[in-house]
Amino acid sequence: MCYPDLHLSDEVEFAEGIKMKNSDVLELSSEDDVASTGDRCPHRDRWSLLLPQSIAKKPLELLHADICGPISPYTLAGNKYFLLIVDDFTRWMWVFILAAKNDAFRAFKKFKFLTENKTEYKIKTLRTDRGGEFLSTEFTQFCEDEGIE
C-alpha cells in the first residue's frame, strides 16, 4: 500500500475507503484503494505537506541514529538491540542488529566505512538522542577525528 502510516492517514482523512477495525486489521473497500507496484500513490502530494522537508542538501550530510531495545523476543542469536540510522536527505534506513548497546560504536564504524567507500559522500553530522552509547569517549573521539559533528 502507499500509505506511510495508516493510523495517521485515517485521522487526517486521506485514506478514504479504508476501514480500521482494530490496530492490526485493514479492510479495503474497493480495488481502487490498492496501488499496484510501480504506480504513484494518489495521496503522495498530500503527504508531502505533512512530512517535514529534508534539512540536508546531499546524502550522508545529516544522519539520525538511535538504539532500540531490548527487544522481546530476542533474536535466535540472542541479540537484544538494534541500531537504526536514517539519512535525512534520501530517507534511506539501515538497521544493525546488536547483542548489547555498546556494540553501537563498532556498527557505526562499519556503516561509515561501507557507505563512504560505496559513495562519493562523507558523513558530516550525526544526530542522536545523546544516549550513553553515543557519548562514550571512544565514540566521541572517533567522530571528532573523522570530522563528524
Instruction: Map out the domains of the chain as residue ranges.
Output: 6-50, 62-146
* pLDDT given at position 13: 45
* pLDDT given at position 22: 46
What is the residue-level pLDDT of the chain in tens, covering all 149 positions?
Answer: 444 444 444 444 444 444 444 443 333 333 444 444 445 555 555 545 555 677 888 999 999 999 999 999 999 999 999 999 999 998 999 999 999 999 999 999 999 999 999 999 999 999 999 888 899 999 999 999 999 99
* pLDDT given at position 7: 46
* pLDDT given at position 44: 52
Does the domain formed by 62-146 have CATH 3.30.420.10? Answer: yes
What does DSSP assign to residue 5? -
The rounded distance, in Å, linking the Cα atoms of 5 and 26 is 12
Contact (Cβ atoms closer than 8 angstroms) between residue 27 and residue 33? no
| Cell digits of residue 89 | 536527505
* pLDDT given at position 34: 40
* pLDDT given at position 42: 59
Task: Collect contacts of 146-149 with beta carbons under 8 A, ≥24 apart.
Answer: 146/112, 147/122, 148/123, 148/124, 149/124, 149/125
**Which residues make beta-bridge pairs with 66?**
84
Contact (Cβ atoms closer than 8 angstroms) between residue 61 and residue 22? no
**By three-state DSSP, how is residue 92 classified?**
coil
* pLDDT given at position 100: 94
- pTM greater than the 0.85 cutoff: no
Kindly give, in sequence order, each residue whose CB lies less than 8 Å from that of residue 132, ignoring residues fewer than 6 positions away.
Answer: 101
Whole-angstrom CA distances from 69 to 127, 142, 144 are 19, 24, 27
CA atoms within 13 A on the CB side of 68: 12
Nearest Cα residue to 85 out of 69, 70, 105, 63: 63
